[in-house]
Amino acid sequence: MIEPAIAPCKLNTRLRVIVSPCRSGSTALLNCMAQHPLVQAYYQSVKAGLREGRKEDYRLFYAPAGGGASVFMVDKETLGPHTPAESALRVFPEEEAVRASRPIFLFRDPTACWNGWFTRGWRRFDLYQLAYTHAYQTWLFAKAVTNGASSADPVICVTYDQLTGSPEVVLRAICRHWQLLYCAELLDWRTNIGQNVKIRGGADFERSIEEGTFAQVQRSHSIEVIRRPLEIPGEDVQRIA
């Protein structure tokens, strides 16, 4: 059971959440959702609190959505990569927040995911293992919390291969899950990450843009399959297996 992280407030029922380990395709998915005319996209609002030297920032879970009753807020939270606190991020402030936000969990093949960390220079395997395991355990917890909920499938899980292999099918399913009308703009990134970005983020988001963390998404115009050569040591492949 999760004890409420802040004083009881009315939950924002227009918030939707994406959860994944780092380097799993969550930025591409968020960029897709940012193209929707009725979506306000946010980058790691919870984890930003940790990175600014405080604690998890749950204000978005209780903030009223701007732009009218038809607007949805979509926040993506990735686990990892620099500290144990980031890898074991507590995404949801309370159990009811899981039900209200109807989260999407996104996972990539663990070997490819660690290879993504490794090629970015994030080479602490213990933090990767903690992040991947904690994301998986959070998914199981979310399923348990929402078991018996009145609405169908309050939590769904998507893989990187599903997202990149059949993006329209997956995005249509996500829109149904989040009670959004699907639109073709989701697969056509007219507003990409950069100066005219529709994704709202703080200093951490701006640093990530400067450091080239989103280079592949910035070069693309839609979801693409990325197959990078493995650079991780052979013993890491065995450890993951």
Q: What are phi and psi of 141, to 5 degrees?
A: -65, -45
DSSP 102: -
Higher pLDDT, 51 or 182: 182
pLDDT band at 6 (very low <50, low <70, confident <90, very high): low
Which pLDDT score is estimated for 134?
Answer: 98
pLDDT band at 226 (very low <50, low <70, confident <90, very high): confident
Each residue of 67-112: pLDDT tens digit? 556 789 999 999 999 999 999 999 999 999 999 999 999 999 999 9
Phi-psi region of 161 (alpha: psi -120 to 50; beta: other; left: phi over 0): alpha
What is the H or E stretch that residue 205 is in?
Answer: helix 203-211
Higher pLDDT, 224 or 134: 134
Over 70: is that where the pLDDT of 152 sits? no
219 vs 226: CA distance, rounded Å = 12
Asked if 160 contacts 109 with a C-beta cutoff of 8 angstroms, the reply is: yes
Joined tokens for residue 50: 């940790």
Asked if 104 contacts 174 with a C-beta cutoff of 8 angstroms, the reply is: yes
Joined tokens for residue 108: 């990539």
As a whole number, mean pLDDT of residues 160-178 equals 96
152 vs 141: CA distance, rounded Å = 17
State the angle between helix axes of 26-34 and 167-177 in degrees (0 to 180), rounded to the nearest 10.
Answer: 70
Residue 38, classified by CB atoms within 10 Å of its CB into exposed (0-12), middle (13-18) or buried (19+), is middle
Walk me through the domains of the chain, giving residue ranges and CATH numbers.
Answer: 15-240 (3.40.50)
Which pLDDT score is estimated for 69?
Answer: 63
Asked if 29 contacts 18 with a C-beta cutoff of 8 angstroms, the reply is: yes
Place of tokens 């939270």: 77
Asked if 80 contacts 86 with a C-beta cutoff of 8 angstroms, the reply is: yes
154 vs 177: CA distance, rounded Å = 8
